[in-house]
Structure 1
Amino acid sequence: MFDIKKIPFSRYGSFITISPNHQKDGDGALYIRNIRNGDNDFGAVFRIDLISEGKSLPYNSVLSPSILRLEAEEGFVEFCIGEARVLQIRSQGVGVRLTGITGAYDYAVPVEEKRWEVNHSLQEMRYMLTAVKGRIEMDAPFNEQRCEKIIADFLPESQLSEMECVLEEFTTVYQTRSYATFSEGHEIVKKEYESWYEHTLETPKEFTRGKELASYITWSCVVSPEGKLSRPAMYMSKNWMTNIWSWDHCFNAIALAKNSPELAWDQFMIFFDAQDESGMLPDFINNRFALWNFTKPPIHGWTLRRLWEQNEFVTVDKLQEVYQPLVKWTKWWLTFQDSDDDGIPQYNHGNDSGWDNSTIFHKGTPVESPDLSSFLVLQMEVLSEIACKLGKKDEATKWMQESQALLTRMIDHFWNGERFVAKRSGTHEVIESDSLVVYVPLILGNRLPAEILEKLVEGITHKGFLTEYGLATELPDSPYYREDGYWRGPIWAPTTMLLTDGLLESGEKELALEVARKFCSMASKSGMAENYNALTGEGLRDPAFTWTSSVFLILGQLLVAENEVMIEEQDSRQGL
């Protein structure tokens, strides 16, 4: 069971979501929402109330993956999203009141007995309300261009009888149909979720609670292809981060690769479907628009390698599909993000790095940061490998040479003998910063000289980045550290994943497993939050985030695999 105050109720493929509006409604009321159209609008369509004899009732919420149950002393109401566009409602002993959250031009009209259409122009969606068992009473007086209010009461015929009703989304013309019973719809969703859970990555038994939460969040946050969304898309959250961002999708793809490879490929490729001719990827996408003011770091080569390591689903055809888009994405950084032409690419805003307000940006931009060059070194190396597999030998050689050349420039440019630093582009002024971002070059592993790797590992472990709960994004003793400072202190899933991978690449297996275990323990206890207080492990910001869930599952699988290796080694020794 999950907490509806933190975890929205939805299902795979659906834009229908039920949750409280934390920002505007302090009474904890639940709303049926339409999470299309981005995160600038909460998307409230109807407020939910339980009623008896016309009066609202207090209730408690019980949330499980396939059903939301609201319990009052007088009875209960259950909600199930039987199909992506169909919300089924059942009650016993009480009625359900849906109060429209309306704007200009919203109206309701009767269609036939027990059926009303609500045209919710504010949310650009129509809803067909149908009483299957019981009756519907509408209060929707029309005045000039809209209904002054839209209130639908779904009521049982008697206190002892059961009520069933359906809310269905549509955009133009409603197709008259019948509906499965609530029980039938619930059984369908239950089986779908059970299948998803079975395909969720295995985690150690001590983190079972975390796995259950991560599994539900990732399943319920997938929306169907629609508008700008060319493929099924795992949103970051159905709380308020209702888009898919152009590095978040990579971590979700990796978590899906082993057991749901085609969905993983959809997550990976969805941004390349939207790629600009220049090679740039948008910052985020939703069904309605893509945002081009920012982008995110080029971790896609690193991601692609992690995908094909999972199993053999990344075929030659898929490599052919991704090769030119990945070439254009790489060239965009090298061509358009190097204003001083020094061969070191730059970030023009913190948002482009993913570390929005990191202290490497506190003196302004553009900023040359070693993490960006590291990502591109790996991405060009991956392009070389793809080109080789596609029979493009000359291109394979060229990309490998460019990768090695950038690696050399990067070390010469950023390494000060003790650590990597960030610099202002143009002046090459060193930016004094205690941000973890300058340790991301660990992902290069043994491509870096041994003495550099040694000092990077020492910096992470002895400087104070590694707390009881994981890797802080700013040193806790930094004057810029903030407990809830976004990228100025809190622990984040993507940085944890990148640096864990970097430690493994660097031969620091024991430390990598320690970081993984700390993160999984924290997330299992505190929930799949957007980020965490580095000194207490408390979840911060959005409490139901998919990339956190995915990284938890990936690192949990890593711990399981290591346990299996240890058991095999122990059995082997005993056998000897």
Structure 2
Amino acid sequence: MNFDIRTIPFSRYGSFLVFSNISGRNGIKDGLYLRNIRGGDEDLGLVFLIELTYLGKTIPYEEIATPDLLKLKTNHGMVEICIPDYDVIRIRSKNIGLRLTLNMKKYDNIIPLKNGKWEITSYSQEIKFMLSKLRGNIHVDAPWEMIGNSHVVINLEANDDNEYSEIALESYKVVWEEKKYDINFEDCRKKVWEEYNNWLENTLPVPKEFEPAKELASYITWSCVVKPEGNLTRPAMYMSNNWMTNIWSWDNCFNAMALAKKNPVLALEQLMIFIDNQHSSGVFPDFINDKYLSWSCTKPPIHGWAFKWMMERNEYFKQHHILKQIYKPLSKWTNYWLKYRDDDNDGVPQYNHGNDSGWDNSTIFDKGTPVESPDLCAFLVLQMDLLAEIADKFNKTEETKGWRQLSDITLEKMIKNFWEDDKFIATFSGSPDYVKDSDSLILYMPIILGKKLPEKIRLKLIEGLKQKDRFLTGYGFATESISSRYYKSDGYWRGPIWAPSTMLLVDGLMKAEEKEFAKEVAQRFCKMALKSGMAENFNALTGEALCDPAFTWTSSVFLILGNEYLDMEIA
């Protein structure tokens, strides 16, 4: 599998180091960069600009990327890059030179050490690199100016005898621990290839015609896992290696679901990262990276729905010690919404910002917040049902009874507050007013309750989802009706198709026994992903990829839908 690093960065499982071809960014020279994706998505983390030289002049090259190797090919020779370990990069060149230019900030510097080594310190990235010459000659241009180097340019020169020149580049935060480089480059590549293929073999199988998309989804998910560090208490699957370099507290659920059958330990860890960092109030952070926890918003409580889905597909999640890890945190998470997000004390929780819903700019938030929306109640009903099931396994009779009663009450209030004129509406908390004009798909999320909904409501929701020129397109469900005056083709949650909304609705339709319709929607989404890749979202009318072009939850949802809902010969 080859992929284009202009859209899909080159990296590996466990690493914060990625290679991206960046162009069209203000103030950034176009080209290939080594990036450090620690610290979140406020900065691209540029470390080195990478250029190739011949007879002292920079030359163009073609990039050929596979999971194990990034090859830079020219008419004169080539450079090959491999990441054999999360903190080590091996680079070799043949017949041409390699130039690394440090993306300079205040205090940045390079110092020569013995045995052909140089230590580079990037203050802005809070990271150090050890550059080791393995073969060939290195020339460093780095004039000193009082508190740092004015620039740092490292040239790995071409050998004259048609032999490789080669370097190793190690990243570390504090002190360098010496490594031996007795493994040759080809063995490094083989090591990575074997690791990736093991991941690929444990990726959910899909129908044969979708195999190219499976390989892409497999690489994206594998390469976006970073090792535990700082606030990341466990291996974390980031949303992307482009610029969404965090783990969010509902994105993680879809990634966990795709891992549940074949890699249950890593699946559970995606949920446990947020449990490890749960606030005493019960709320989960909005997102986490190695350096920061964000508490400005949170995300919807789909965790009970997701964990129940995982339990139904792997006995691993039904083990007593795992249920014990999940029960109390999910109880606190549920109670958080009832205690801290119900300002009018009507038993119906609210979103204080669109970001809390995950549908950041949905039209239900056009007139302000706080907003009460039926999807939130539906998620909590399912979470309460799961908690009742777990409490029953633990013989907690009173808690089982309490959760079941609370689930019934919440469902009753959801219908009473939001079902009006044969449709669900969203309301302003503490006000008799409701959100007018919005025709957002979020109001159809209660279909996830399946047969828990009264038949009349269930059938009306299905009818609305099938209605012509509304949500359903040739590629799936638009997030705002295509007939709405607020619809925008590239409007984030005001039109484009998204993986999470698709997954939730397909699962809800299956539970509502609309199996053929669910499978049709799943197939449309998978065909779109096969055509357009694993983008953050898609144009609802053309299937065109939008926003971040290499997203993990899109990859995960594609794998789930392809594995679960498409009746075709499996490759």
For Structure 1 versus Structure 2, the TM-score category normalised by the shorter chain is over 0.9
Q: Which amino acid aligns with 2:382?
A: L
Structure 2 contact 207–562 (Cα < 8 Å) conserved: yes
The yes-or-no answer on 1:367 pairing with 2:368 is: no
Of 66, 69, 77, 1:67 maps to 69
Aligned to 1:229: 232
Aligned to 2:509: 503
The farther-off stretch of 140-149 and 150-159 is: 150-159
Q: CA deviation at 1:564?
A: 7.2
Aligned to 1:478: 484
Aligned to 1:44: 46
Q: CA deviation at 1:121?
A: 1.0
- The separation in 1 between residues aligned to 2:79 and 2:201, in whole angstroms, is 29
In the TM superposition, 1:533-572 aligns within 5 A as 533-560=539-566, 562-563=567-568
Q: 3-state SS of the aligned residue for 1:131?
A: strand
Q: Which amino acid aligns with 2:254?
A: F
Structure 1 contact 203–559 (Cα < 8 Å) conserved: no
Aligned to 1:572: none
Structure 1 contact 139–150 (Cα < 8 Å) conserved: yes
Structure 2 contact 95–159 (Cα < 8 Å) conserved: no
Aligned to 2:149: 147
Q: Which amino acid aligns with 2:116?
A: K
The yes-or-no answer on 1:190 pairing with 2:207 is: no
Q: CA deviation at 1:20?
A: 2.2
Q: CA deviation at 1:21?
A: 2.8
- The separation in 2 between residues aligned to 1:208 and 1:534, in whole angstroms, is 23
Aligned to 1:238: 241
Structure 1 contact 200–215 (Cα < 8 Å) conserved: yes
In the TM superposition, 1:19-30 aligns within 5 A as 19-22=20-23, 23-24=25-26, 28-30=30-32
Q: Which amino acid aligns with 2:476?
A: G
Q: Which amino acid aligns with 2:79?
A: V
Q: CA deviation at 1:156?
A: 3.0
Aligned to 1:104: 106
The yes-or-no answer on 1:437 pairing with 2:439 is: no
- The separation in 2 between residues aligned to 1:310 and 1:68, in whole angstroms, is 37
Q: CA deviation at 1:24?
A: 3.5
The farther-off stretch of 87-96 and 344-353 is: 87-96
Structure 1 contact 92–159 (Cα < 8 Å) conserved: no
Provide, for residues 379-417 of structure 1, a one-character-per-residue CA deviation record: whole Å limited to 9, x for no partner: 001000011112212101110110011101110110013
Q: CA deviation at 1:309?
A: 1.1
- The separation in 2 between residues aligned to 1:532 and 1:564, in whole angstroms, is 27
The yes-or-no answer on 1:205 pairing with 2:208 is: yes
Aligned to 1:261: 264
The farther-off stretch of 41-50 and 413-422 is: 413-422
In the TM superposition, 1:332-351 aligns within 5 A as 332-351=336-355
Aligned residues: 564
The yes-or-no answer on 1:9 pairing with 2:14 is: no
Provide, for residues 205-228 of structure 1, a one-character-per-residue CA deviation record: whole Å limited to 9, x for no partner: 111111010000000000000000
- The separation in 1 between residues aligned to 2:341 and 2:197, in whole angstroms, is 46
Provide, for residues 506-540 of structure 1, a one-character-per-residue CA deviation record: whole Å limited to 9, x for no partner: 00000000000000000111000000000000000
Q: Which amino acid aligns with 1:297?
A: P
Aligned to 2:59: 57
Q: 3-state SS of the aligned residue for 2:364?
A: helix
Q: Which amino acid aligns with 1:510?
A: E
In the TM superposition, 1:359-508 aligns within 5 A as 359-432=363-436, 433-463=438-468, 464-508=470-514
TM-score (norm 2): 0.97
Q: CA deviation at 1:27?
A: 6.4
Q: CA deviation at 1:28?
A: 4.2
Q: CA deviation at 1:110?
A: 0.5
Q: Taking structure 1 as reference, are residues 41 and 27 closer, same or farther at Cα in structure 2, changes over 3 Å only?
A: closer
Q: CA deviation at 1:428?
A: 2.9
Provide, for residues 326-352 of structure 1, a one-character-per-residue CA deviation record: whole Å limited to 9, x for no partner: 111000001100111111100000000
Give the share of equivalent positions with the same residue, in percent.
Answer: 53
In the TM superposition, 1:243-322 aligns within 5 A as 243-314=246-317, 315-322=319-326
The farther-off stretch of 430-439 and 148-157 is: 148-157
Moved over 4 A (4+): 25-28
Structure 1 contact 94–159 (Cα < 8 Å) conserved: no
Q: 3-state SS of the aligned residue for 2:565?
A: helix
Q: Which amino acid aligns with 1:181?
A: N
Gaps (5+ residues) in structure 1? Answer: 566-576
- The separation in 2 between residues aligned to 1:468 and 1:336, in whole angstroms, is 41
Across the aligned residues of Structure 1 and Structure 2, the Cα RMSD in angstroms comes to 1.2
Aligned to 1:220: 223
The yes-or-no answer on 1:524 pairing with 2:527 is: no
Q: CA deviation at 1:77?
A: 0.6
- The separation in 2 between residues aligned to 1:167 and 1:549, in whole angstroms, is 30
Structure 1 contact 114–135 (Cα < 8 Å) conserved: no
Gaps (5+ residues) in structure 2? Answer: none
Q: CA deviation at 1:370?
A: 0.3
Structure 1 contact 251–547 (Cα < 8 Å) conserved: yes
The farther-off stretch of 427-436 and 293-302 is: 427-436
Q: Which amino acid aligns with 2:109?
A: Y
